[in-house]
Amino acid sequence: MSVAPRPLRRPRRLRRTGVIRRLVRETRLTPDRLVLPLFVTDGENVEQPIEAMPGHARLSVDRVLARCQDALENKVGAFALFPAVDPALKRPDAGEALNPENLLCRTVRAIKAGIPEACVITDIALDPYSSLGHDGLVRNGVVVNDETVDVLSQMAVLHAKAGADIVAPSDMMDGRVAAIRAALDRAGATDVAIISYTAKYASAFYGPFREALGSAPVAAENVPSDKKTYQMDPANAREAAIEAMLDEDEGADVLMVKPALPYLDVIRRLRLATELPVAAYHVSGEYAMVKAAAARGWLDERSCMSEVLLGIARAGADLIFTYAALEYARWWRESLR
């Protein structure tokens, strides 16, 4: 009886033991490549749980500092701040965004005073401050570009003066990176970096985030019902390369893709197109899906969340914004014991 020829190559040789698998592992995701988003609210000793995002809450500044300290002890050193602004302070012109004593600026100063080694990243967009829920100013039913960019540039300078290490324009207005870079440089903030939300899609995965901040567009006359005229069409990938080219030329230091999982191809496209670091935002809906399924016993949270983040890194993300940053960091430390 003839014997089937033996394979010359046996890939399983390099899967045989845990030590061997770790030796040849192609993608390694360590906690210092993660950014932890935090929601800030007014008050003292306040923690308001966000129902759709288990493990996250709107935190008062003192609680934010405690969370940052915990994260730093677990090797996560970068934090993206999002303010839950009092509705009484929201106006159509988003004027609170330019108040140097607003919640966000006070939080930045507190973190840099108490934990100077923390890397503080601030969001540059008007939706937390706008009573209309849009990332830009609304005029006659249109989200206007250039007027919005003027306000965003002032906002970035304000954050830099408060102590932000990085500003992250998430608004998707045309030309805002160049305007913000010029404004920062004029203000002497040449060391403040820009993470540009280069390919931010008009995604259905932002729901829990908008619940946390109350930042969804309002239903009103002459107010666009969605953000599709400035955020990208989910069907488009080549357009992301155009946005990346523009942002790089305008002075961005890091390029961001948001969300992450439905756009792994876009992350890869940008990774191959630029020498700049590429970031990905593992957004609230993506996080909530794993949490919800795990709560029902349908999957293992630790394994699945880790696999998700590893997949984003494998696609080409150098850094990942994720609500699971602290959990992943703890799991990672346990795996080293």
Q: Which residue numbers are catalytic?
A: 200, 258
The structure tokens 């940008």 sit at 270
> Could you tell me where the DSSP H helices lie in 47-163?
61-73, 103-114, 146-162
Cα dist from 5 to 2, 8, 9, 326, whole Å: 9, 9, 12, 50
- The residue type found at 114 is G
Report d(CA 130, CA 229) in Å as an integer.
17
Longest alpha-carbon distance in the chain: 85
Contact yes or no for 205/262 (Cβ under 8 A): yes
* Closest to 126 (Cα-Cα) out of 101, 143, 107, 140: 143
- Retrieve residue 31's tokens: 């906690």
- Retrieve residue 261's tokens: 């999982």
Contact yes or no for 57/39 (Cβ under 8 A): yes
DSSP letter string, 5-28: PPPS--GGGGGSSHHHHHHT-S--
Helix H, strand E, coil C: the string for 272-284 is: HHCCCCEEEEECH
Contact yes or no for 160/117 (Cβ under 8 A): no
The structure tokens 């210092």 sit at 32
Contact yes or no for 302/224 (Cβ under 8 A): no
Contact yes or no for 257/263 (Cβ under 8 A): yes
DSSP letter string, 24-68: T-S----GGGEEEEEEE-SSSS-EEE-TTSTT-EEE-HHHHHHHH
